């Protein structure tokens, strides 16, 4: 058996070959494990550990009186389809969306909600737009979108961003137009999540590739999003305090994901 490692753990946590390789039908556990450079047993054991952490985070949230009260008045109705699109912050197996899935399934099973996570790690708004047909297929009653962090990735501190802000805003507009949601469906936009710039600058893989993320870019994009028509959630409050990012400075810790899940739930029940 191949020993687990931090790199393999991170790949299994954030990468979903079944989504990013949509043309590869019926991927087996052994095939996915091989893609990650490990064996099936290690892959399944890692999945089980992640699911345990996710479920524990949901239980901890459910233990709060304010959260229990919010769960009693969520705006979802019986049998609705809740879909998420976006990048690694949502694709994460410990993401805010996955925590909410477990929270609602365990505390409000009467609603029989259907959750579908279509987020893909590393996606830009351009790539999300290219996959809009998958959203149409789902016919969601609620569509959550958290995206933009990869758009503002720069090649060098003063280098070009991967996607210009003008193009990002154009993509966001087209996402909303082309999704063709049912008449009463709800769009919920979440602003791109802040990074820890000091960790980003010291992370070896980013350093060697010359990749940079700056909060000034994220804040500028978020301000544009928050100023547009629609229902938006500012994610910044979930990233206050310590221990909000993994060692790369971009990906949220479980603590931050849990805070983000609580923030989304609170916003939905305001």
CATH superfamily membership of 77-268? SGNH hydrolase (3.40.50.1110)
pLDDT at 1: 42
Encode pLDDT of 226-244 as tens digits. Answer: 877 668 999 999 998 899 9
pLDDT at 229: 65
Q: How many helices (H) and strands (E) does the chain have?
A: 14, 7
* Assigned token pair, 108: 């409000």
* Assigned token pair, 25: 């039908």
Distances (CA, A) of 232 to 183, 216, 248: 19, 19, 27
Neighbours of 251 (CB within 10 A): 24
**Total-model pTM:** 0.94
Neighbours of 73 (CB within 10 A): 8
Encode pLDDT of 10-60 as tens digits. Answer: 999 999 998 888 777 778 999 999 999 999 999 999 999 999 999 999 999
* Domain ranges (residues) in the chain: 77-268
């Amino acid at each position: 058996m191949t020993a687990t490692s931090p790199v393999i753990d991170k790949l299994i946590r954030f990468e979903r070959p079944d989504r990013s390789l949509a043309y590869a039908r019926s991927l087996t556990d052994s095939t996915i494990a091989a893609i990650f450079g490990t064996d099936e047993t290690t892959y399944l054991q890692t999945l089980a550990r992640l699911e345990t952490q996710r479920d524990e985070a949901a239980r901890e949230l459910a233990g709060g009186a304010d959260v229990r009260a919010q769960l009693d008045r969520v705006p979802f109705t019986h049998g609705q389809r809740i879909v998420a699109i976006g990048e690694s912050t949502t694709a994460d197996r410990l993401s805010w969306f996955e925590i909410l899935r477990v929270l609602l399934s365990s505390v409000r099973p009467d609603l029989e909600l259907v959750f579908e996570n279509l987020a893909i790690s590393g996606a830009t708004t351009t790539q999300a737009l290219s996959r809009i047909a998958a959203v149409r297929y789902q016919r969601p009653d609620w569509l959550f979108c958290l995206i933009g962090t990869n758009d503002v990735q720069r090649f060098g501190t003063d280098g070009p961003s991967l996607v210009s802000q003008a193009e990002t805003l154009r993509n966001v507009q087209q996402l909303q137009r082309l999704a063709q949601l049912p008449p009463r469906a709800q769009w919920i936009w979440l602003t791109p999540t802040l990074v820890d710039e000091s960790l980003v600058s010291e992370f070896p893989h980013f350093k060697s590739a010359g990749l940079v993320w700056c909060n000034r870019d994220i804040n500028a994009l978020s301000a544009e999003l928050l100023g547009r028509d629609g229902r938006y959630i500012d994610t910044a409050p979930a990233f206050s305090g310590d221990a909000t990012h993994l060692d790369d400075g971009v990906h949220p810790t479980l603590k931050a994901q849990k805070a983000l899940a609580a923030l989304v739930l609170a916003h939905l029940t305001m």
